[in-house]
Structure 1
Amino acid sequence: MADSLFNDVMILLGASVVAAALFRRLHLPPVLAYLAVGFLVGPHLAGWIGRPEELAFLSEFGLVFLLFSLGLEFSMPRMRALKTTVFGLGASQVVVCSGLFWALGCALGLTPAAALVAAGALGLSSTAIVTRELARWNELDSPHGHAAVGVLLFQDLAALLFLILIPAMAGDGSQLLSDLGVMLAKGIGLVVVMMAIGKWVLPLVFQEVARSRSEELFVLTVLLVALFSAWLTHSLHLSMALGAFLAGMMLGESHYRHQIEADIRPFRDILLGLFFVSVGMLLDPHVLLAQWYWVVIGVICLLTTKALLITGLARLSGRPLDSAMRTGLVLSQGGEFGFALLALASQQQLMDTDTVGLVVAIIIGSLVVTPSLIRHNQHLSQRACRSHTPTQENPHTTAQLSEATAPLHDHVIVCGFGRVGQTVGRFLTQEKLQWIAIDADPIRVHEAASAGEPVVFGDAQRQDILRALGIERARQVVITVNQLPHALAILHAIQPLQLPELKVLVRTQDDADLDTYKAAGATEVIPEVLEGSLMLVSHVLVNLEVPFRRVARSIQKAREARYSLLHGYFHGQQSQLTDKRGNPLLRRHPVTLTESTWACERRLDEISLPERSGILISRIVRANGDCIEEPTGDLRLACGDTLVLSGLADHIEEAEARLLSG
């Protein structure tokens, strides 16, 4: 039996590695990879895992660590900061969505208990995917991001209630109210006791553990606290996940929260992967093939219904239509808590296997499309509520915009009114120069326009909008958006206009795409990282009493050379070798010429480094310590010289081989 379990674990780990790597390339969440592994290798399809019940114990630990991690994030200060959203919008969302889904489940023939489990599973959203995707697109601090986080916090609380309800409903039903009362009493008493332990006992324990400066002891203590809490709730006939969540809440208020989260992450990710694999095994392909239309209908109805309900509730709470709709879109899916509730309901025999598989399939389908919904939530909400946007923020026609910008001549058009765009606007205003900004965020446009800023709502990628902004009369366009596709789309809209006198400046994070922007028509590209380095250098030199004019000439020379002086650096053990898109970064590497080196006593122009390599010899250090910056081709090399090469790693290797052996 032990050999069989070990073989099953090895099969699951191997398949999970392959699936996670594949799904990552497809930009899909890893949870979908684990679900796919369970579906493919489980007993219903490939049959490689013949007895999935043997893995139930391990997979349940994954759920324990998931709830423990969520408990760490569930801090009371955060709750108080979002209390209006949490207990207002969050509570109404759970009640309305779950109530509607419960009524629908009962109408479709489910028992009240099974309908309640299905309603809870579908009414909750995915904390893991929503928060990760919002952070990925820098929307966590947006109005709809705050609303989504507040709703997710209340959903975490609601999930605890469902975890208490399911065991109570698993009896014969004759004493449901009394059983439920006992379970609630146990839960409330447990919360009080554990919060007291977390406030007065655990800080002393972790203080002593921290003094030992032993990483092993710290990790063991964290595991003991999490598993002891799970065991305690299990012994009271409550869910193990409930105890883990309470343990996380206890430790979430401590100074050790971030260290605990870092230490627990490897255990959580591995065991949680097994949990999602076990959920995937619940999917029966025969049931899916027989009811595929119900899965499709269920996914569409789930996404549409939750999006509309949450949008309506958010509007009733006083949020603008755009923000309310974006909140509804990002929270329209089912979540990982749904899998936990369904797995627990299946263990308690509250739902039959076919119904569990159908609801799981609907949740999985909603999760598949969630990353795309979150990524394009702004565009979708703008299209849906365009007619409701005030005219000063979103002119109904380009003619109105053209009329409003008619007085502008030799002005500056700022594409993107984020922090950088607003800074540009302030300095233009200070110099009494005419300018107008365009941005696609209606909330930001409303705030700025109300404050008197010359900003309009619109898409700068549209050529008709650019014409309406008076681009033919403009002196300069400043593109401040920090997304390559968006900036290139604006440049491609400007190019066909053939305005040779118009200067187009593009702000970018680094110089990785400098040539791409130049080829698309940018007059100047300003990389933030390199410009920050130049500003720091200028302050350093001025503080060292170097004449300001000499500093200005040096800085300007570096800019005119397209930052070539700053390209590449000496890499260390922890250096990043590629940029954010996986392209290799330039590096610097010294090569010292010895007596047996082929390049000794030869002129630089005789060496003939491969032209395609783009290798630059930026400096030569003589044996006596003299440095020659930017050496010319007529310089003759000597033994003992050190050549500083700048370029890509593989090209540097080719150049070094040429210098050493010819």
Structure 2
Amino acid sequence: MEHALLAESLIIVLASALVIALSVRLGFSPIMGYLATGLLIGPHGLGLLAVTEGTRFLAELGVVLLMFMVGLEFSVPRMMAARSLILGPGLSQVLVTVALVTTGAILLGLHWPAALILGGAVAMSSTAVTLKQLADQDELHSAHGRLAVAMLLFQDLATLPFLVLIDVYGTGSGSAAEALQKIGLATLGLLAIALLSRSALHGILGWIARLRSAELFLLTVLAMALGMAALAHWFGLSLPIGAFLAGMVVGESDFRHQVEDDLRPFRDVLLGLFFFTIGTQIDPLAAAERPAATLAALALFLGLKALVVLFVTLPTPWRGQAGLRSALVLAHGSEFGLLMLSLAARQEGLLPQSLAQPFLMGLVISLALAPLLIQHNGRLAALLWSRGGEGEGEEYERHASDASRSLDNHVILCGCGRVGRLVASVLESAGIPYLAIESEYGQLEHARRRGHRVIFGDASRSRMLDAAGLKRAATVVITFDRRASVEKMLHHIRHTSPAIHVVVSARDDRDQDRFIAAGANAVLAENLAAGLSLGAHTLEAMGLPHEEVSRHIETLRAALHEAPLETLRY
């Protein structure tokens, strides 16, 4: 038996390594590699092995760690900071998608728990695939990127009630009252555990951290995750729900980032095993026997979800091409959708295989297409947007044109976040006219409350810059950190107004030469500026005269290829 287990493990590891290497080489997510491996060597493929209870248990641990790390992300301050996006478009997207799919499935004769699970599976998009692709494309902080991330955050949170539903109806004997009771129990558990165990767990982690033992810290975190999962199971909830609660508690501590870094290797390996087991459950022949159902499922993941995202953004500042690009970015299935469908399919009497297989296949196909849709979301949105041209924000361009009509020899401030608001305050104190452009609604409201002159729009778009009076402006200040967007802006600014002065604020000095080459007159790296300022204060504290301090700082500034101070004066 030991030799059989060793042989099974060796087959899984070798096949996974080969297929994942191929999938990554082709530009697909490793998730697709694990799914393909399970499909290839599982009972519906070459039949090299059957999934054992031991393999399923390890896969379940992967799901437990996944939900624990999802819980880490849901700190109350972070949710409150993005509440306008999360509780606005995020909540609406999940509710509308679930309602449409559930209603349609019930009308087609499906029992309501199974219909609700299908609705939940369709509503979710892949956090891992989306975040990685957007980060690679430098679009995480764009308008459509922030909108998509907020929706993903709410989707991850919304998996909790669906896992409870699968728990309740796993035996086919659950009732609506029992479902409500268990969902209520989970909610009370959230509150009780957050209130009662927060101080204790934080204290334990603090004490362990002071011992300076990385192994002990990791074991303690694993014990917390597994212990809370076991406690939830004892109360009649699922293991992943308990792990999620534990993650929420730990996420409120100062150790969240360290916990994420320590657990990620374990999570990735065990979660890969989970996706492998899902691959073994997919039966291509069963899906091929119902091609209409498979295509319908694919249409739900790609088409319906995109339409819903576009619809829920209509009454928001993100309507237009930003909403359309978010819709394309989120038009695919997710890991949690795979989790829900596979768990429901394994529960007797909950989700019939005749329906689960087409939906699993449709979801997998949508995941395979996701990187392409995300990569080309801008080009596809431009083609689909009926008004042509750059399409997005013609209404906002009119606002920019109206706001800048009386301005001349002014400053265009691109971005009104923390740095942008400081620049705006300096300009106001000096009596210099300016117009700020901000694409994040929360930052926009913050700036307006402070009395700054700011309009909503995406300053990285050339038409928005032109509408803000680029040809009449004296200076452009760029304060956001998106390399590709900044370079595009610099090329347009130099082409439109060659003599204008352009200042760029960057997070660090890595892109300084690129921005200067693209047309910036000065690049102020925030980390270097802070370091030079700190050094100056230190020298003065040591008793050096102000003139000598200035000489040292200017010498160092020149050595670091920083712009001289004079270029930053307006």
Write the deviation string for residues 397-447 of structure 1: whole angstroms up to 9, x where unpaired: xxx82x764554433333333333332232222222233334445665576
Residue 120 of structure 2: aligned partner: 120
Offset of residue 488 of structure 1 = 1.3
Q: Aligned partners of 1:489, 1:451: CA distance in 2, in Å?
A: 30
1:15-34 equivalent positions in 2, closer than 5 A: 15-17=15-17, 29-34=29-34
Secondary structure (helix, strand or coil) at the match of 1:526 reads strand
Q: Aligned partners of 1:516, 1:210: CA distance in 2, in Å?
A: 43
Offset of residue 559 of structure 1 = 4.3
Change in CA separation of 1:423 and 1:371 when aligned onto 2, cut-off 3 Å: farther
Offset of residue 482 of structure 1 = 1.9
Residue 640 of structure 1: aligned partner: none
Q: Aligned partners of 1:340, 1:260: CA distance in 2, in Å?
A: 24
Amino acid at match of 2:104: L
Residue 283 of structure 2: aligned partner: 284
Amino acid at match of 2:523: V
Change in CA separation of 1:201 and 1:356 when aligned onto 2, cut-off 3 Å: same
Residue 44 of structure 2: aligned partner: 44
Q: Aligned partners of 1:404, 1:79: CA distance in 2, in Å?
A: 33
1:166 matched to 2:164? The reply is no
Residue 520 of structure 1: aligned partner: 518
**More displaced 10-residue stretch of structure 1: 218-227 or 78-87:** 78-87
1:341-352 equivalent positions in 2, closer than 5 A: 341-350=340-349, 351-352=351-352
Q: TM-score, normalised by structure 1?
A: 0.65
Change in CA separation of 1:562 and 1:292 when aligned onto 2, cut-off 3 Å: farther
Amino acid at match of 2:165: F
Change in CA separation of 1:338 and 1:109 when aligned onto 2, cut-off 3 Å: same
Secondary structure (helix, strand or coil) at the match of 2:503 reads strand
1:104 matched to 2:107? The reply is no
1:12 matched to 2:28? The reply is no
Say if 2:168 and 2:178, in contact at 8 Å, map to a contact too. Answer: no
Q: Aligned partners of 1:333, 1:129: CA distance in 2, in Å?
A: 10
Write the deviation string for residues 385-404 of structure 1: whole angstroms up to 9, x where unpaired: 9999795x4317xxx82x76
Q: Aligned partners of 1:196, 1:457: CA distance in 2, in Å?
A: 41
Write the deviation string for residues 342-396 of structure 1: whole angstroms up to 9, x where unpaired: 22222223334453232123333444566777789899699699999795x4317
Residue 274 of structure 1: aligned partner: 273
Write the deviation string for residues 204-241 of structure 1: whole angstroms up to 9, x where unpaired: 79978986857666655655565566567667876444
Change in CA separation of 1:373 and 1:548 when aligned onto 2, cut-off 3 Å: farther
Change in CA separation of 1:419 and 1:263 when aligned onto 2, cut-off 3 Å: closer
1:410 matched to 2:409? The reply is yes
Residue 486 of structure 1: aligned partner: 485
**More displaced 10-residue stretch of structure 1: 78-87 or 266-275:** 78-87
Q: Aligned partners of 1:86, 1:168: CA distance in 2, in Å?
A: 34
Q: Aligned partners of 1:498, 1:468: CA distance in 2, in Å?
A: 13
Residue 358 of structure 2: aligned partner: 358
Residue 424 of structure 1: aligned partner: 423
Q: Which has the higher helix share?
A: 2
Write the deviation string for residues 589-648 of structure 1: whole angstroms up to 9, x where unpaired: xxxxxxxxxxxxxxxxxxxxxxxxxxxxxxxxxxxxxxxxxxxxxxxxxxxxxxxxxxxx
Residue 57 of structure 1: aligned partner: 57
Residue 339 of structure 2: aligned partner: 340
Change in CA separation of 1:14 and 1:424 when aligned onto 2, cut-off 3 Å: farther
Write the deviation string for residues 31-71 of structure 1: whole angstroms up to 9, x where unpaired: 34433333344333344434566632322232233334445
Say if 1:191 and 1:246, in contact at 8 Å, map to a contact too. Answer: no
Residue 539 of structure 1: aligned partner: 537
**More displaced 10-residue stretch of structure 1: 326-335 or 116-125:** 326-335
Write the deviation string for residues 130-174 of structure 1: whole angstroms up to 9, x where unpaired: 77789982589x9857963773465143124313333142x5xxx
1:134-533 equivalent positions in 2, closer than 5 A: 137-138=140-141, 144=147, 148=151, 151-152=154-155, 155-169=158-172, 177=175, 213=211, 223=222, 226-227=225-226, 239-245=238-244, 264-287=263-286, 295=294, 297-309=296-308, 320=317, 322=319, 325=323, 333-350=332-349, 351-368=351-368, 393-395=396-398, 401=401, 405=404, 407-441=406-440, 444=443, 448=447, 453-457=452-456, 460=459, 466-497=465-496, 499=498, 501-533=499-531
Question: What's the Cα RMSD here?
Answer: 5.1
Say if 1:463 and 1:493, in contact at 8 Å, map to a contact too. Answer: yes
Amino acid at match of 1:435: Y
Identical aligned pairs, as a percentage?
35
Change in CA separation of 1:552 and 1:242 when aligned onto 2, cut-off 3 Å: closer
Larger Rg: 1
Amino acid at match of 1:358: P
Change in CA separation of 1:194 and 1:33 when aligned onto 2, cut-off 3 Å: same
Q: Which runs of 5+ in 2 are unaligned?
A: 564-570
Say if 2:122 and 2:305, in contact at 8 Å, map to a contact too. Answer: no
Secondary structure (helix, strand or coil) at the match of 1:505 reads strand
Say if 1:102 and 1:115, in contact at 8 Å, map to a contact too. Answer: yes
Say if 1:74 and 1:153, in contact at 8 Å, map to a contact too. Answer: no
Amino acid at match of 2:490: L
Offset of residue 197 of structure 1 = 8.2
Equivalent residues, number: 551
Q: Which runs of 5+ in 1 are unaligned?
A: 566-662
Offset of residue 275 of structure 1 = 0.7
Offset of residue 278 of structure 1 = 1.0
Change in CA separation of 1:464 and 1:239 when aligned onto 2, cut-off 3 Å: closer
Say if 1:120 and 1:162, in contact at 8 Å, map to a contact too. Answer: no
Offset of residue 121 of structure 1 = 2.5
Offset of residue 274 of structure 1 = 0.7
Offset of residue 548 of structure 1 = 3.0
Q: Aligned partners of 1:7, 1:106: CA distance in 2, in Å?
A: 45
1:72-83 equivalent positions in 2, closer than 5 A: none
Change in CA separation of 1:120 and 1:487 when aligned onto 2, cut-off 3 Å: closer
Say if 1:163 and 1:239, in contact at 8 Å, map to a contact too. Answer: no
Q: Aligned partners of 2:205, 2:446: CA distance in 1, in Å?
A: 50
Say if 1:209 and 1:217, in contact at 8 Å, map to a contact too. Answer: no
Q: Which one scores higher on RCO, CA 8 angstroms, separation ≥ 6? A: 2
Write the deviation string for residues 562-583 of structure 1: whole angstroms up to 9, x where unpaired: 6289xxxxxxxxxxxxxxxxxx
Residue 568 of structure 2: aligned partner: none
Change in CA separation of 1:242 and 1:542 when aligned onto 2, cut-off 3 Å: closer
Say if 1:414 and 1:477, in contact at 8 Å, map to a contact too. Answer: yes
Amino acid at match of 1:302: F
Q: Aligned partners of 1:57, 1:521: CA distance in 2, in Å?
A: 57
Secondary structure (helix, strand or coil) at the match of 2:398 reads coil
Say if 1:59 and 1:275, in contact at 8 Å, map to a contact too. Answer: yes
Q: Aligned partners of 1:249, 1:413: CA distance in 2, in Å?
A: 42
Amino acid at match of 2:158: Q
Q: Aligned partners of 1:139, 1:465: CA distance in 2, in Å?
A: 15
**More displaced 10-residue stretch of structure 1: 302-311 or 4-13:** 302-311
Q: Aligned partners of 2:486, 2:256: CA distance in 1, in Å?
A: 40
Say if 1:164 and 1:184, in contact at 8 Å, map to a contact too. Answer: no
Secondary structure (helix, strand or coil) at the match of 2:424 reads helix
Amino acid at match of 1:299: L
Change in CA separation of 1:215 and 1:525 when aligned onto 2, cut-off 3 Å: closer
Change in CA separation of 1:211 and 1:54 when aligned onto 2, cut-off 3 Å: closer
Amino acid at match of 2:524: I
Q: Aligned partners of 2:317, 2:305: CA distance in 1, in Å?
A: 18
Secondary structure (helix, strand or coil) at the match of 1:49 reads coil
Change in CA separation of 1:117 and 1:537 when aligned onto 2, cut-off 3 Å: closer
